[in-house]
Amino acid sequence: MVKQNYSVELHGVTKSFDNTQVLKSIDMELEKGKFYTLLGPSGCGKTTILRIIAGFTKASSGQVLIDGTEVTRVAANQRKVNTVFQDYALFPHMNIFDNIAFGLSVKGVDKATIKEKVSEMLRLVRLEGFEERYIDALSGGQKQRVAIARALINEPDVLLLDEPLSALDLKLRTDMQYELRELQRRLGITFVFVTHDQEEALAMSDWIYVLNNGEIVQSGTPVDIYDEPINRYVADFIGESNIVDAKMIEDYRVEFVGHTFDCEDGGILSGEAVEVVIRPEDVEITSPEAGQLIAKVDTQLFRGVFNEVIAYDEDNNEWMIHTTKKVETGSRIGLRFGPSDIHVMRFNESEEDFDARLEQYED
Ligand SMILES: Nc1ncnc2c1ncn2[C@@H]1O[C@H](COP(=O)(O)OP(=O)(O)OP(=O)(O)O)[C@@H](O)[C@H]1O
Ligand SMILES: [Mg+2]
């Protein structure tokens, strides 16, 4: 059997700028034709990783492979990788045709081929008839599509996108999320997409890398990461969550706020201090008698499709609940959660140990 190469591999990649380490041993194996997202707060190293893949920045140590070949010391223009920058970096003094044609022109491709390819790209990003326009006469979304066309005309195996949607308003941003995802599926090339927006990451990706301080904290499918965050950082970063201190009683039993609950986690020492995370949409509001916990409603905010209720339990933990029910501010309510709604997190568990534990104790 022929070994299927990864599209991009990083092995033990580190980066320091002036004695400050900004990447600590990054390992990634990206399969061909998938949509990957690097998600993390400002300064965590997302752009640095993209620049190392593209060849604009040299890793301090470690290896970069593209399509199975080591390119750690190969120049950026020799890699079959293209980048869409956050500010698009389009040429304002050139029209759209020339902007998109740029990569082929510098390679000396003949005019007829360039014309044909540019038309094809304009069709792809739905900007037919825009050839003569200048960049200043475009909306943000249109500029972004020109930037994508300009990158794709070089037929890269890998397209790197550095927060390409962050300048757009919410509606356009959502439209472009669909368009980008659709484009990626159609072309079947590997996308590495950078964002600090968790909803965007969840909606678009096949696989997400959550980063913090130059390290991969957790990687997995959007569902994995949303449902089973490895620690408080990921739980907090990916969506709203309730996190309370807890103690493992035995496999599948956990205690918090003075009560014991069934859960689906095992493989943790009994008596071990842990945290549990429960998503706001997984908390059910009941009468106080029917509740597993009793809480007092503090505030209620109408959020369109649900009410966001903030309540405090008997230990004064804050609970956020997303519900379609109406409650009275100041009233006592019951809270209920099923075993699958309670996610137990260990302190400082490595991603490998976490994955192994889940695999053993799931289903
Ligand atoms: N050329 C450089 N010289 C010195 N420090 C740098 C350089 N480039 C990046 N850094 C530092 O490396 C860290 C990571 O930067 P990077 O641009 O990769 O973050 P990021 O995750 O892309 O952040 P943002 O979301 O704000 O774009 C930051 O602390 C940044 O200040
Ligand atoms: Mg950046």
CATH number of the domain that residue 247 is part of = 2.40.50.140
Element (H, E) at 10: strand 8-17
Q: Give the nearest ligand 1 atom to 57 CA.
A: 1
Q: Which amino acid is at 68?
A: G
Q: Verify that 48 and 116 share a domain, yes or no.
A: yes
User: Which residues form the domain of 289?
Assistant: 241-361
Please report whether residue 334 resides in a domain. Answer: yes
204-218 average pLDDT score:
96
- pLDDT for position 175: 84
Long-range contacts formed by 40-47: CB under 8 A, 24+ apart:
40/196, 40/210, 40/211, 40/212, 40/237, 41/196, 41/212, 41/237, 42/196, 44/211, 44/212, 44/213, 44/214, 45/15, 45/211, 45/213, 45/214, 46/162, 46/194, 46/196, 46/211, 47/162, 47/194
Question: Domain end: 190, 205, 227, which one?
Answer: 227
Q: Which ligand is nearest to the CA of 42?
A: 1
On whether both 215 and 246 belong to a single domain, the answer is no
Q: How far is the CA of 46 from the centre of ligand 2 (A)?
A: 6
Domain presence at residue 232: no
Give the model confidence (pLDDT) of 257-287 as tens digits: 999 999 999 999 999 999 999 999 999 999 9
Q: Which of 44, 85, 86, 237 to mutate to test the pocket of ligand 1 (most atoms within 8 A of CB)?
A: 44
Query: Helix, strand, or coil here: 16?
Result: strand
The Cα angle at residue 168 between residues 56 and 199, in degrees rounded to 5: 85
| Domain match, 108 and 202 both | yes
Domain match, 263 and 221 both: no
Domain count, the chain: 2
Cα gap 159→190, rounded to integer Å: 6
pLDDT of residue 116: 95
- pLDDT surpassing 70 at residue 2: no
Residues 184 and 263 in one domain: no
> Rg (Cα) of the chain, in Å, rounded?
24
Length of the chain: 363
Q: Of the residues 17, 57, 213, 237, which should be mutated to test ligand 1's pocket, given the most ligand atoms within 8 Å of the CB?
A: 17
Residue 213 scores a pLDDT above 80 = yes
1: pLDDT strictly greater than 60: no
Reported as a single tens digit per residue, the pLDDT across 28-58 is: 999 999 999 999 999 999 999 999 999 999 9
48's tokens = 């640095």
Q: Of all residues in the chain, what percent carry a pLDDT higher than 70?
A: 99
Beta-sheet pairing, 318-323 with 332-336: unpaired
Mean pLDDT calculated for residue range 102-115: 94
Q: Could you tell me if 164 and 272 lie in one domain?
A: no
Is 235 within the bounds of a domain?
no
Q: Are 283 and 222 within one domain?
A: no
The residue from 202, 227, 252 where one domain ends is: 227
110 and 198 share one domain: yes
Which residue bears the tokens 């640095």? 48
Do 213 and 353 share a structural domain?
no
pLDDT computed for residue 3 by the predictor:
62
Could you tell me which residue, 67 or 88, shows the higher pLDDT? 67
In a shared domain, residues 34 and 71: yes
**Same domain? 249 vs 217:** no
- Of the pLDDT bands very low, low, confident and very high (cuts 50, 70, 90), residue 363 is low
Considering 227, 258, 283, which residue would you say is the last residue of a domain? 227
Q: Is residue 156 part of a domain?
A: yes
| pLDDT tens per residue, range 71-89 | 999 999 899 899 998 888 8
Residues whose beta carbon lies within 6 Å of some atom of ligand 1? 17, 22, 40, 42-48, 196
Please name the residues in contact with 174: beta carbons below 8 A apart, sequence gap of 6 or more.
Answer: none
